[in-house]
Structure 1
């Protein structure tokens, strides 16, 4: 009997695609059989560069922070921003964060008073079912922390459960609890549309703050422009989208390096940015009363896991937690936000001073050098001359590389 595609081994899947011999071999060479059970129809591994922010200081503790990204300037910007924060003791946080994840049982076409009474009469049973569904979570001190029935327009309702998830991000635990709790609502089986976690993160908002000497930014004029640009992003969605993207450049690169769900983090962050009815920047910048210090703050929901999910099968993510110093859940959340705020600072400084393009072009020059075939020992030489050229494009990069090789000593 012919096997279906998903039943084939990873090697046989690649061979079934009739690729060119060179491409087929590349896919085969990059396979990691430990990863074949993490995703469906596994073919091969896709590699992204990993760099780091060295000596990130958060709450007085020094961290070596891994970042995984394909964008050339992200890691340089995050390091630059953190360097500025270190001048005032690094980034600091507020209250300890909470490992809380929400879930919803979603009802359609209900009678509010009847459903509300049903929930009140069954609160104890809801708690009991949750504990039976995830006894190990309760044994570790986790479990349901709140039960709330919420009206939704159009004769709809959401039963919102908040679950303390401990060291795990908690998606599977919350979904398991919701499925168990749903069985209580037999009279409303036809009205239940879904029982599913929410990534909104209302109960998991984290805040970090940093200070920078105005003189280190290039003077008071630059600092005032940063504040004005930050204020602009509070009232203009177009600017806010780009500013938040800059925050996630660094933040999401850390989340990815730690094997966590960067898509959930970004979705929660964007929803939080629109919580007042207008999409705004997630960060806020202002000057101190004496105008000698620039003050920055970043807040957003953050659900991160140290265990569970795909982490067990991602050795590099486990290694990166070790590189980071095996922080607690609370610590790792604040480190992640500190990198986001550092990235934001570096971008705002660049935009309001020499312009963002100067730094981007230096990084782009390296990428172009690689693109036209420069060897590792040639990339920096070609990139430096490309930055100094009138045009930074592929043709110019080819000409510079050709000139280098024409003048190489002959063997």
Structure 2
């Protein structure tokens, strides 16, 4: 194939986009068109809605939408919606929820809800002179210039909390920031924050230009580099935790409660001190977090970036969860930095997002923060529990069994046979194929 660049691809109709792709990349095999069409929604209006979520849409990419029940969170019994393709995530979360339901469930605390954004700029001026200008002139003007933008948010109890001038000239010549903190109440607030920051850039430019304390050279040196929110929100934190007396842990793996608690705590400590383990440990946490983030129409890339930056905030990548055994009490918790919304974006558009939020009792943004932290903690508890007892593969591969059988084209009767066959055996890819071929040969 000798593909050619395409002009105006975004202006082509959906059918013409598909025709071009099949011709240029798929050897004119029209069977691929059938694959795309299988995933179109039968409701034309709903399909059009999905296509307008993003650009150049030619089909929908489905993910399983599952439910993890029995989550007792701050005294409320919830069923969590989880959009995730990885085997055992929903099962593990459900198992952890069931484990803790008779031990008081999960408790959460909102530590802070502050979000951040920056106007990054360059100016060749003495830092102390710029700081004086900021303190006595600019800061007030920044608040005044954004009053119209922040009016509705202030009426809902949010808005700009503070603005600071940050001197970064030690890191980059003539580099400064206007660092602002925001409360966006029930919205994730990206558009609101970015609108405020862009106004900061305009106001900064205007105020420097007309201020007589700056020389013409200093004024000319001003460059607004960018105005953008930060997805690192170390002050937008929720804590979720579980605790009970060691005598009440009652793990069913056959080891004593004391041994289970000791092994569990040691596994968490290893994740705290060893970045190679911490990376996989935190990935497991985000299995639970992201699944609910996606189901509620929020940005899982932002939550991932923030969580991993927070895990490395002290200069070494470490665990997001922690564990103590003190006075005969086992305690396990997570401090999760997370910025989410329940209004705006897809929350008012995507039908399944609406369903998810209704299922959760139409939570506030803070309540959703708590639910997400609990989902991550539950996932981590289930993973560590397996690791220090039966091993991670036993449960995971049992969940993966159906995936292997589907790849082999197994019938429902054959699937039922192998689920029973592997009930007391270790599932491996090789063994499933071997047994499947033997059965077919018979």
Which residue number in structure 2 is paired with residue 5 of structure 1? Answer: 9
Question: Does the C-alpha gap of structure 1 residues 396 and 231 become closer, same or farther in structure 2, counting only changes over 3 Å?
Answer: closer
Higher Cα radius of gyration:
2
- Describe how 1:223-372 pairs up with structure 2 within 5 A: 223-290=261-328, 293-372=329-408
- Describe how 1:11-410 pairs up with structure 2 within 5 A: 11-18=15-22, 19=26, 20-31=29-40, 32-95=47-110, 97-98=112-113, 100-108=114-122, 110-111=124-125, 112-120=127-135, 121-152=137-168, 153-155=171-173, 156-186=175-205, 187=208, 190-212=222-244, 214=246, 215-217=249-251, 218=255, 219-290=257-328, 293-376=329-412, 378-386=414-422, 392-393=428-429, 396-397=432-433, 399-400=435-436, 403=439
> 2:346, 2:353 within 8 Å by CA — same for their partners in 1?
no
Q: CA deviation at 1:175?
A: 0.5
Q: CA deviation at 1:209?
A: 1.0
Q: CA deviation at 1:14?
A: 1.9
- Gapped regions of structure 2 (runs ≥ 5): 1-5, 41-46, 209-218
Q: CA deviation at 1:205?
A: 0.9
Aligned partners of 2:348, 2:312: CA distance in 1, in Å? 34
Q: CA deviation at 1:138?
A: 2.7
Q: CA deviation at 1:30?
A: 1.7
Aligned partners of 1:125, 1:373: CA distance in 2, in Å? 67
SS of residue matched to 1:281: coil
Aligned partners of 2:11, 2:54: CA distance in 1, in Å? 13
SS of residue matched to 1:205: strand
> 1:374, 1:401 within 8 Å by CA — same for their partners in 2?
no
Question: Does the C-alpha gap of structure 1 residues 210 and 139 become closer, same or farther in structure 2, counting only changes over 3 Å?
Answer: same
Q: CA deviation at 1:325?
A: 1.6
> 2:111, 2:239 within 8 Å by CA — same for their partners in 1?
no
SS of residue matched to 2:146: helix
Q: CA deviation at 1:402?
A: 6.8
> 1:206, 1:334 within 8 Å by CA — same for their partners in 2?
yes
> 2:123, 2:222 within 8 Å by CA — same for their partners in 1?
no
TM-score by length of 2: 0.85
Question: Does the C-alpha gap of structure 1 residues 395 and 209 become closer, same or farther in structure 2, counting only changes over 3 Å?
Answer: closer
Q: CA deviation at 1:128?
A: 1.6
Question: Does the C-alpha gap of structure 1 residues 342 and 91 become closer, same or farther in structure 2, counting only changes over 3 Å?
Answer: same
> 2:111, 2:236 within 8 Å by CA — same for their partners in 1?
no
Query: Deviations along 1:164-219, whole A, 9 cap, x unmatched?
Result: 11211011110111111111111367432111000111221111111255442342
Question: Does the C-alpha gap of structure 1 residues 150 and 286 become closer, same or farther in structure 2, counting only changes over 3 Å?
Answer: same
Q: CA deviation at 1:21?
A: 2.6
Question: Does the C-alpha gap of structure 1 residues 24 and 338 become closer, same or farther in structure 2, counting only changes over 3 Å?
Answer: same
Aligned partners of 1:129, 1:383: CA distance in 2, in Å? 65
Give the aligned CA root-mean-square deviation in angstroms: 2.3
Query: Deviations along 1:114-140, whole A, 9 cap, x unmatched?
Result: 322222212121112222234332332
Q: CA deviation at 1:230?
A: 1.0
SS of residue matched to 1:185: helix
> 2:82, 2:90 within 8 Å by CA — same for their partners in 1?
yes
